[in-house]
Amino acid sequence: MSQNYLGLAELRERAAADTEARKRLTYLFDDGVFSELDAFALSGSELSGVITAYGYANGDPVYAFSQDVSVKGGAMSRVQAEKIAKLYDLAAATGIPVVGFYDSFGADLEDGFGALTAYGELLKRTNSLSGVVPQIAVAAGVCSGAAAMLAESADITVLTEKAELYVAANSDIKNSAENAEHNGTAALVCKDDQAAAEAVRGLLAKLPANNLSPVPMYEFEPSDKPFGEDAASQAEAVCDAGSLTELCAGFGGAAYTALGTVNGATVGVLATNKTADRLTASDASKLARFVRFCDSFAIPVITFVDTEGFAADDETEAAGSVKSMAMLAHAYAEATTAKLVVVTGKAYGSAFIALAGRGANSDMTFALENAVISPMVPAAAVEFLHHDELKGAADLTAARNELAAKYAQEEASAAAAAQKGSVDAVIAAQDVRAAVIGALDILSGKRVSRLPKKHSNIQL
């Protein structure tokens, strides 16, 4: 059977239609200019339902695709997948980031098994390219089923407020922007397509082109913020003015993760004192994921530690949260990028080991003068160390508190930790930025060789 071909004029008219898919790309690329690939490719008698293109964002080359919901609901067909796959192949060959705008109601049922195979090919490519070039996914409309898996396979997933990202179409609970932000599915939630594209441009500006490229360097204004007690103010005091972009803000309430710059160079900033004293499984997962992302592209990691440790209660143990804690320790230990730690307050037990342990999990560990570093909570420590003394106390609570305070000031002090070699230096709050800058500079040539293996078996 012969195929009915469309005329060139009709193809040009269809391809040039002013759709949401095309507008999203104009928001992403500099001056709205991009070069389209395979613009006339047809799936049956319709266009492929996706625009694939290349251009520049912030002056740097980027590949991007944008699903077109106006064509068969953006349905994924074999032809659409081949266009996207070609983009991934080009990205792999040239070491250039990929941005995807997802807006589709699912697979093209008329393409049947071809669509199923197509999804498999794309999942193979996006995962093969993981850690090689930055991948950013934007769910700008419906992103369901296998498409949702593709979007979540990216390094960073952004949702617009109208987007839905879910696996089961018949589920009563879908990942709206609010849900996705709360459960960590989305790293950022933006008001609309234009805001999402601007956020992506900002992220791309901070990321290297690929895993062999150095982190970007920019002109900067030093921060004039004081070093405060909360995660955000600490990050703002150390990073260059206006450079921070917090990620996964609504997920993992005790943990803070952000991309920023120090002296014009990109860094990843983590902190454990955002809203709570103890880390949950969500916090551990959030921190581990971010460390691995930074390590993939040799982005130095700065961690501010102020935590009593991991949550320890019946609910936590029943949920098997120890797996998440092991995952966090593994992520830090496995990372070969430069790792700096500043203990800003409490650092107790396994949390100190996982986040700040010298040798494996930290290259350099600093502590503020008032930091308390202890194998366990001071009140619990004195129960073991001064059991007989407490046993005969007239006021047990007062005696325990007094001994715990003394223990924190003496045996668990920053000075004691420095004397025992657990921290490299004790510094004042106003000197943290200078200490970080000096450490990053001296660690810039860090090289690490690992034992040969296929991959690590991290707890997931």
Q: What is the pLDDT of residue 166?
A: 86
Please indicate, yes or no, whether residues 73 and 130 belong to a single structural domain of this protein: yes
Q: Please indicate, yes or no, if residue 335 is contained in any of the structural domains.
A: yes
Q: Please indicate, yes or no, if residue 225 is contained in any of the structural domains.
A: no
Please indicate, yes or no, whether residues 184 and 72 belong to a single structural domain of this protein: yes
How many other C-beta atoms can be found within 10 angstroms of the C-beta atom of residue 56?
Answer: 14
Q: Please indicate, yes or no, if residue 379 is contained in any of the structural domains.
A: no
Q: What is the pLDDT of residue 1?
A: 41
Q: Please indicate, yes or no, if residue 390 is contained in any of the structural domains.
A: no
Please indicate, yes or no, whether residues 131 and 242 belong to a single structural domain of this protein: no
Global pTM value: 0.92
- CATH code of residue 355: 3.90.226.10
pLDDT along the chain (460 residues), means of 10: 59 71 97 93 79 97 95 86 95 98 82 78 94 97 89 96 82 73 94 98 98 94 94 97 97 96 98 86 94 98 94 71 88 96 94 85 95 90 77 76 86 95 96 97 91 87
Please indicate, yes or no, whether residues 254 and 161 belong to a single structural domain of this protein: no
Boundary (domain end) residue, out of 155, 189, 206: 206
Please indicate, yes or no, whether residues 96 and 191 belong to a single structural domain of this protein: yes
Please indicate, yes or no, whether residues 200 and 117 belong to a single structural domain of this protein: yes
* Structural domain boundaries, residue 278: 231-371+413-442
Q: What is the pLDDT of residue 162?
A: 93
Please indicate, yes or no, whether residues 265 and 179 belong to a single structural domain of this protein: no
Please indicate, yes or no, whether residues 57 and 148 belong to a single structural domain of this protein: yes
Q: What is the pLDDT of residue 2?
A: 47
Residue with tokens 């992220």: 203
Q: Please indicate, yes or no, if residue 137 is contained in any of the structural domains.
A: yes
Residue with tokens 């073991």: 384
Q: Please indicate, yes or no, if residue 377 is contained in any of the structural domains.
A: no
Q: Please indicate, yes or no, if residue 104 is contained in any of the structural domains.
A: yes
Cα 368 from chain centre: 27
Please indicate, yes or no, whether residues 34 and 122 belong to a single structural domain of this protein: yes
Please indicate, yes or no, whether residues 417 and 335 belong to a single structural domain of this protein: yes
The count of domains in the chain is: 2
Please indicate, yes or no, whether residues 427 and 322 belong to a single structural domain of this protein: yes
Q: Please indicate, yes or no, if residue 343 is contained in any of the structural domains.
A: yes
Please indicate, yes or no, whether residues 118 and 256 belong to a single structural domain of this protein: no
